[in-house]
Amino acid sequence: MATLLYVLHVLGAVLWVGGMAFALFALRPAAHEALEAPQRLALMLGVFRRFFRVLWHVVPIILLTGWTMLGFWYWGFGASIWHVHVMHGTGLLMAGIFVAVALGPFRAMRAALAAGDRAKAAAALDRIRKGVALNLALGLLTVAIAAWGRFGG
């Protein structure tokens, strides 16, 4: 059981962090090169709509498996496992940023595009990009700390 939770937890982290890296390092620059603003905005809205729909499932799985492992393996939150405590903090921060971006700028972008206001949609997209970039940095840090704490001591 604990192994299954661990596998689900790590797969969730791979999807979340890997998806953000792909969006920022590959998709976004390629869309800038190949597309004019209206097509680019429509593409990025579709990309984030699908990616965020996946994350609404993946993020709770990461948090729930993390909390359950903490209970099963380490007998609660008081245990001295520094890397899991750091992961817990950055994980909660990342989840909060995701929810804020999905309910804030993402919705604003969708509404602006529906109303034909491209400038407003572009400004909202930029806020989404900043939130995703921050979460990518936190996600990479979290994975590095998790791996370091487990194998590096």
Q: Look-up: residue for tokens 């909060």?
A: 96
| Interacting residues with ligand HEM between 19 and 48 (CB under 6 A) | none
Which of 104, 149 has the CB closer to ligand HEM?
A: 149
- In angstroms, the Cα distances linking 76 to 11, 17, 38, 85, 95 are 23, 26, 51, 11, 21
CB atoms within 10 A of CB 31: 16
Q: What angle do CA 4, 74, 97 make, to 5 degrees?
A: 70
Q: Report in angstroms how near the CB of residue 91 gets to ligand HEM at its nearest.
A: 3
Which of 7, 115 has the CB closer to ligand HEM?
A: 7
Q: Are 111 and 123 in contact (CB under 8 A)?
A: no
Q: Are 64 and 28 in contact (CB under 8 A)?
A: no
Applying CB under 6 A, among 10, 11, 27, 86 the residue interacting with ligand HEM is 10
Residue nearest to ligand HEM (CB): 66
- From 42-50, 100-108, 117-125, 140-148, span contacting ligand HEM (CB under 6 A): 140-148
Q: Are 17 and 141 in contact (CB under 8 A)?
A: no
Show the binding pattern over residues 45-74: x = contacts ligand HEM (CB under 6 A), - = does not. Answer: -----------------xx--xx-xx--x-
Residues lying near ligand HEM in the complex (CB under 6 A): 9-10, 13, 16-17, 62-63, 66-67, 69-70, 73, 83-84, 87-88, 91-92, 94, 139, 142-143, 146-147, 149-150
